[in-house]
Chains A and B, each alone.
Chain A
Amino acid sequence: MRNSSIKRSIIKISFLTLVLIIMVIVSFGQWPKPTISPMMVQGAKPTATPAIVYPYPAPENSANTITEATSEGLAPGRSDIAYPAPATLDSQPMTVFAYPAPGATPQGDVNYIKKLYLPVVTSGPATYNRLAAAQYADNWTHGRNLMFPDYGNEGGPPYLPCNDCTNFVSQALWYGGMPLIPGDWDRESTNERYWWTKFCPSGGCDTNPTWRLTDMLFSHVSYYWNWDVNSRKYQVLYGVSLDDLSSYLEQGDFILMKDPFIQESESYYTHARFIVGMGYIDRMDLEPGDEAEEGRYALLADQHCTDRYHVAYDYLLHRTNNGIPYDVIGIHVLADNIQ
């Protein structure tokens, strides 16, 4: 009886030890590297010709079609106006504008803010001043105007990533005479109808989403183009390819773009550039290896994050994304209808 009990124990011990050894081998041997066989590589490139033939008109045709069909004050010509540009970063003005007026009441007073900003809406110029907008963009490409909230600097602190591109475009639009559209004063509001900033340092120093977020700015301009056609301030250049945009855009317009490889949230457009007119590409903000671009006559743009002064409007957008171009949409300001 005793012998059989010992035998049973030995058998159990042997079996369990074997299981343990197998588990240890599995644990420390092959695993955790997964076995990845070629069979796991899904998605062999489709070789079949797409069933749907791309039916959209050729760029020339699409451009013509849109121009003839929808233009409202669209000016295909561009402003080849030469304007003084800062030669160096040091020469750029860093003036803090004397606005709001001296004696302004403390921030946070909603009534005060309304009183302060409502007149801006009704007293702005009837015509958009493209030159003023472009000059502002040029002057502040490498600076941050303390009159407005700052959404990040290159080389800034880690807690403040550089997300200032749309804020920069909005500032230039405002300096061109685009009137603020005060609204519900909710800085997180998704109402695309409004577009405002509360000026710094004493006006509240804030913005609403359509002022600072690229995708919301797009919603804003789309709203006035598609749904409030009686007060169209912008033309959304639907379906115009990146190359063809140069025929539509002029000084004071802007473009919105997105790397289609990134879809973190619903925010579709993630970056904005401001068009400053025709001119010669500056070398200041070209990437290493792009020196040959310097001096080329092109439609120029300024942008924040990365701060770039007088680069081609399509700079870097063709060769990025490994064969997948950025999704780019052009926004043309309808200069005579901004009120």
Chain B
Amino acid sequence: MKKTLISLGIIFGILSIGLGSFLIIRARASNISVDSPEAEVFKKVLVHFSKALYDAQRYGMVDEFDQVLIDRPNETNFDEKAKTKVSNVYGPEAASHTGLLSVYKAEYASIWNGKQKLQELSAKAKAENRKLTEAESKEIAKAANGTGLPGYSNSDTWKEPVFTIEKIELTGDHAVVRFKSGLEEVEAYLINIKDQWYIYKFKHIHSDL
């Protein structure tokens, strides 16, 4: 009986060591080669985000962001100004969990709304052969929710981007992808939920602009 207990104790100890090793390895980040097939998954996420941006800029289609971004308020650091903007567009409930997704959607929805209002009131003023009134200017600013209404050239067409991925670090269901986007070096933070990767944070590393 004593030997049995000793044997079980030894086995329990070994199992504990094995379990500990398992958990430690599981928690440790590992690098994936940027040329590996796995890296393609992350490239496609970035490409998809790029297309979502394009459609949001040109067509006001902000819902496409849902497929590639996600709110993780505890991981991001958006301030009251951002929350106010989200609240103005999507209501106070949305503002309570402001993250990357809601910020992008609110930003581009605001730009779209502002442009619609600008177009509408400018056409009206032109038809009446007058300038925009003060009230109309404020109406446009309010519709734009404080955004700048950047213009986009109609001659630009969507081209699938080529990203230079410099590093991919995996930790469980999280990943950090460092890549070069044009002149900007950026880190994207992703999480895997139900077999889909979502970006929940960007971190700017360097600009050559």
Contact = CB atoms under 8 A, between A and B. Distances in A.
B48 A324 contact: no
Contact of B118 (A59, A239, A265): A239
A269 B184 CA distance: 14
A32 interface: yes
A54 B182 contact: no
Interface string A1-33: 000011011001100110110011011100111
Interface string A107-119: 0000000000000
A51 to B, nearest CB: 8
A51 B64 CA distance: 13
Given A229-B137, A239-B115, A36 B18 contact: no
B11 interface: yes
Given A19-B15, A264-B203, A325-B153, A238 B140 contact: yes
B128 to A, nearest CB: 10
Given A54-B154, A238-B140, A268-B107, A40 B11 contact: no
A245 B148 CA distance: 14
Point out which of B15, B21, B192, B207 has the most chain A C-beta atoms below 10 A from its C-beta.
Answer: B207
Contact of A322 (B32, B115, B181): B181
A184 interface: no
Given A59-B154, A229-B137, A325-B152, A42 B55 contact: no
Nearest to B112: A52
A59 B153 contact: yes
A266 B79 contact: yes
Interface in A288-339: 305-306, 316, 319-325, 327-329
A261 B184 contact: yes
Given A42-B48, A54-B58, A32 B81 contact: no
B123 A9 contact: no
Interface string B15-54: 1001101100110101010000110110011011111111
A43 interface: yes
Given A26-B22, A54-B59, A227 B123 contact: no
A324 B50 contact: yes
Given A40-B197, A259-B184, A261-B184, A32 B30 contact: yes
A142 to B, nearest CB: 16
Contact of B153 (A55, A241, A260, A263): A241
Nearest to A9: B4
A282 to B, nearest CB: 17
B15 to A, nearest CB: 6
Given A65-B126, A322-B159, A226 B1 contact: no
Nearest to A26: B22
A68 to B, nearest CB: 6
A9 B12 CA distance: 13
B123 A65 contact: yes
B150 A329 contact: yes
A34 B171 CA distance: 10
18 contacts: A9-B3, A40-B196, A46-B64, A52-B61, A54-B154, A57-B119, A58-B154, A69-B132, A222-B141, A226-B140, A229-B137, A262-B184, A266-B82, A271-B207, A322-B182, A323-B158, A324-B53, A327-B150
Instruction: Kindly list the 4 A-B residue pairs having the minimum CB-CB distance in the complex, ordered from nearest.
Output: A322-B161, A320-B182, A43-B48, A241-B151
Interface of B: 1, 3-4, 7-8, 11, 14-15, 18-19, 21-22, 25-26, 28, 30, 32, 37-38, 40-41, 44-45, 47-55, 57-61, 64, 67-68, 77-79, 81-82, 85, 100, 103-104, 107, 114-116, 118-119, 121-123, 125-126, 130-132, 134, 137-138, 140-141, 144, 146-156, 158-163, 170, 172-173, 181-184, 186, 192, 195-197, 201-204, 207-209
